[in-house]
């Protein structure tokens, strides 16, 4: 009996000790969270800011160089930093005659709290917007990206035609040290629910040159949640087929001793660039912030020489127009597999849709008016079929056709042409902003007085299997001239395709071919745009110009 009492007493003491330890741990965690929050807020209050913009001093975006230059450079800084991280490289390039735009990424230059809320798409879209703006006004455009800015520049280069891409210590993955045990990406996923802030400070700035540590402008407190966005960007840039679309000249500069951005991952990415004009320059004395380290002069000389080379005239004939420049770049798209059925509600960043790759329908034919709407598309698939969503930032919207097989190309219209098998025909899904569909199966698009040599409309009972969402109710008789954003989303079952091309089997890993279009023939500002180039003739029915789309395994 006495022995049982002793054992029970020990068990109770052990439980009390465990409970006490748990309480101490919870209180310590809560206390730590309170303290770190106060420290972050105190740093924000005491930071030196520009009185007009409210930005941290030294972080404001800048434009340098001659306004009328035919050549432009976009400089994209890295994680936690600002354009100041390029040292005096912008001034050097401006002196060479380039128009230089030094951008500030969302969530940077203000507060770590702002960075905490920024999504990967917001970062990507910011760079795409800047790159397109330069592309619209300059004959030559080069992107220079450092660290995460290299990631974003690479993603932009896969969507916007460039004349050169410079990647300085680009982030394609985090350098792994032997004592990490787990990968850095795993630690970020584990730590994000537990920790909100991590202190970095100047001591941990990755510069080997002692004087350089305090010269690099950066947040000293890191929001752990933003690390998830960083790892998502790495996943995005390393996806199959993306790097293979970048055929412009590439200069990649890295240090063997970079303890932030993995040199090994950068070397692997470099091998995937198909460009015949690419160069990898290694340095040994520097760390991650190359522009402030021992090799800084050589780094800037390499970049200045490369950028200058990009401004040289084309070796063949005169300078080509934008349609030609958007041209021969290899295009491809990866259709990701949805883990749940995507909602057809027009929510561009809704569950499932936010995980889809985004493509830009941005190659406008020369016959287009000066209205160039921004058109994006996303595609997903599951075991039942394909999901497509278009988002259009438009004006001059007109939509009067309301019946199946009406000529919707004359209205505000988006189109998805897709060929499931190389020896079969293709489908033209043409959908207006009010949800009217024209759909045919085309086997021979040779033009005849009646239409095409061999083509037939998809039967309406099959077309009724398509589930469709459209954000604008119709019809739109009076043209909407003001800025209007509209979406179209639809689901196409594989059975519709199979009724014409035969059994598809498991599509995971398959390659189909496709193109995406935007048109508005009868708008007051007509325009015609494509994702993949269609050559000089205004003709969307060019299956020979379709680009590969791959179904994720």
Backbone angles phi, psi at 512, to 5 degrees: -105, 175
| 3-state SS class at 53 | coil
The answer, yes or no, to whether residue 40 has pLDDT greater than 50, is yes
The answer, yes or no, to whether residue 78 has pLDDT greater than 90, is yes
The answer, yes or no, to whether residue 382 has pLDDT greater than 70, is yes
Greater pLDDT, 177 or 119: 119
Pick among 2.60.40.1190, 2.60.40.10, 1.20.1730.10, 2.40.40.20: CATH of 331-551: 2.60.40.1190
pLDDT digits (tens, 9 = 90+) for 463-498: 999 999 999 998 999 999 999 999 999 999 999 999
The answer, yes or no, to whether residue 178 has pLDDT greater than 80, is no
The answer, yes or no, to whether residue 26 has pLDDT greater than 60, is no
pLDDT digits (tens, 9 = 90+) for 230-252: 989 999 999 999 999 998 999 99
- Give the pLDDT band of residue 35 (cuts 50, 70, 90): confident
- Give the pLDDT band of residue 8 (cuts 50, 70, 90): low
- Give the pLDDT band of residue 451 (cuts 50, 70, 90): confident
Nearest to 374 by CA among 387, 391, 388, 350: 391
Backbone angles phi, psi at 102, to 5 degrees: -105, 105
Answer yes or no: same fold for 62-310 and 331-551: no
Dihedral sign from CA coordinates of 465, 469, 475, 481:
negative
The answer, yes or no, to whether residue 220 has pLDDT greater than 80, is yes
Structure tokens at 395: 């004006």
- Quote the pLDDT of residue 135: 86
Contacts of 201 (CB under 8 A, 6+ apart): 220
pLDDT digits (tens, 9 = 90+) for 332-351: 788 999 999 999 999 998 88
Backbone angles phi, psi at 18, to 5 degrees: -65, -45
Q: Can you name the residues that pair with 430 across neighbouring β-strands?
A: 415, 438
Greater pLDDT, 384 or 45: 384
Greater pLDDT, 37 or 143: 143
- Quote the pLDDT of residue 188: 66
pLDDT digits (tens, 9 = 90+) for 91-103: 999 989 999 999 9
Greater pLDDT, 446 or 553: 446
Q: Are 254 and 283 in contact (CB under 8 A)?
A: yes
Q: What is the mean pLDDT of residues 424-436?
A: 98
| 3-state SS class at 304 | helix
- Give the pLDDT band of residue 180 (cuts 50, 70, 90): low
Q: What is the mean pLDDT of residues 47-67?
A: 87
Q: Which of 166-180, 223-237, 392-406, 535-549 has the highest mean pLDDT?
A: 392-406
Report how far residue 425's alpha carbon sits from residue 75's, in angstroms, rounded to the nearest whole number: 44
pLDDT digits (tens, 9 = 90+) for 109-168: 999 989 999 999 999 999 999 999 898 888 899 999 999 999 999 999 999 989 999 999
- Give the pLDDT band of residue 17 (cuts 50, 70, 90): very low
Stretch (H or E) spanning 404: none
- Quote the pLDDT of residue 4: 52
Give 3-state DSSP helix, strand, coil % of the chain, rounded to 5: 35, 25, 40
pTM over 0.85: no
Q: What is the mean pLDDT of residues 53-76?
A: 91
Contacts of 456 (CB under 8 A, 6+ apart): 440, 441
Domain boundaries, the chain: 1-46, 62-310, 331-551
Pick among 3.60.130.10, 3.40.50.1820, 2.40.50.140, 3.40.640.10: CATH of 62-310: 3.40.50.1820
Q: What is the mean pLDDT of residues 186-193?
A: 70
pLDDT digits (tens, 9 = 90+) for 253-310: 999 999 999 999 999 999 999 998 999 999 999 999 999 999 999 999 999 999 988 8
Q: What is the mean pLDDT of residues 438-460?
A: 94
Farthest CA pair distance, the chain: 105
Helices and strands per DSSP (H, E), number in the chain: 12, 25
């Amino acid at each position: 009996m006495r022995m049982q009492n002793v054992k029970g007493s020990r068990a109770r003491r052990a439980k009390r000790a465990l409970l006490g330890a748990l309480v101490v741990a919870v209180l310590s965690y809560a206390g730590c969270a309170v303290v770190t929050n106060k420290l972050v807020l105190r740093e924000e209050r005491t930071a030196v800011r520009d009185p007009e913009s409210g930005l941290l001093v030294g972080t404001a975006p800048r434009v340098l160089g001659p306004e009328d230059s035919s050549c432009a450079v976009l400089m994209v800084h890295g994680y936690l930093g600002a354009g100041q991280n390029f040292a005096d490289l912008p001034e050097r390039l401006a002196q060479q005659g380039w128009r230089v735009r030094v951008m500030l990424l969302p969530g940077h230059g203000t507060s770590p709290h702002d960075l905490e809320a920024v999504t990967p798409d917001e970062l990507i879209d910011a760079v795409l917007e800047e790159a397109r703006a330069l592309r619209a006004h300059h004959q030559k455009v080069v992107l220079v990206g450092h660290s995460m800015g290299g990631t974003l520049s690479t993603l932009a280069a896969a969507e916007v035609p460039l004349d050169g891409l410079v990647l300085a210590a680009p982030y394609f993955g985090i350098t792994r040290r032997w004592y990490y045990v787990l990968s850095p990406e795993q630690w970020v996923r584990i730590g994000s629910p537990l920790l909100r802030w991590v202190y970095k400070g100047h001591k941990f700035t990755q510069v080997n040159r002692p004087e350089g540590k305090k010269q690099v402008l950066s947040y000293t407190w890191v929001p752990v949640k933003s690390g998830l966005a960083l790892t998502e960007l790495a996943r995005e840039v390393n996806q199959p087929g993306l790097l293979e679309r970048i055929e412009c000249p590439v200069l990649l500069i890295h240090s063997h001793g970079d303890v932030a951005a993995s040199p090994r991952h950068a070397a692997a990415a470099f091998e995937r660039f198909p460009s015949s004009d690419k160069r990898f320059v290694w340095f040994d004395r520097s760390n991650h912030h190359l522009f402030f380290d021992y090799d800084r002069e050589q780094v800037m000389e390499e970049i200045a020489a490369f950028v200058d080379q990009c401004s040289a005239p084309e070796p063949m004939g005169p300078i080509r127009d934008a349609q030609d420049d958007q041209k021969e770049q290899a295009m491809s798209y990866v259709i990701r597999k949805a883990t749940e059925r995507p909602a057809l509600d027009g929510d561009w960043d809704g569950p499932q849709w936010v995980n889809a790759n985004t493509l830009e329908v941005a190659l406008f034919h020369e016959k287009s008016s000066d209205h160039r709407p921004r058109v994006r598309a996303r595609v997903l698939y599951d075991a039942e079929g394909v999901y497509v969503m278009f988002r259009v930032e438009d004006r001059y919207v007109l939509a009067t056709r309301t019946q199946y097989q009406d000529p919707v190309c004359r209205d505000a219209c988006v189109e998805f042409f897709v060929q499931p098998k190389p020896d079969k025909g293709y489908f033209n899904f043409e959908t207006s902003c009010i949800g009217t569909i024209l759909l045919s199966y085309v086997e021979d698009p040779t033009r005849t007085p009646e239409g095409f040599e061999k083509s037939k409309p998809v039967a309406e009972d099959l077309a009724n299997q398509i589930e469709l969402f459209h954000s604008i109710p119709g019809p739109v008789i009076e043209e909407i001239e003001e800025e209007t954003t509209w979406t179209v989303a639809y689901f196409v079952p594989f059975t519709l395709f199979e009724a014409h091309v035969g059994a598809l089997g498991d599509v995971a890993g398959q390659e189909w071919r496709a193109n995406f279009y935007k048109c508005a023939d009868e708008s007051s500002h007509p325009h015609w745009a494509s994702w993949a180039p269609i050559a000089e003739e205004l003709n969307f029915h060019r299956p020979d110009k379709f680009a590969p789309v791959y179904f994720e395994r």
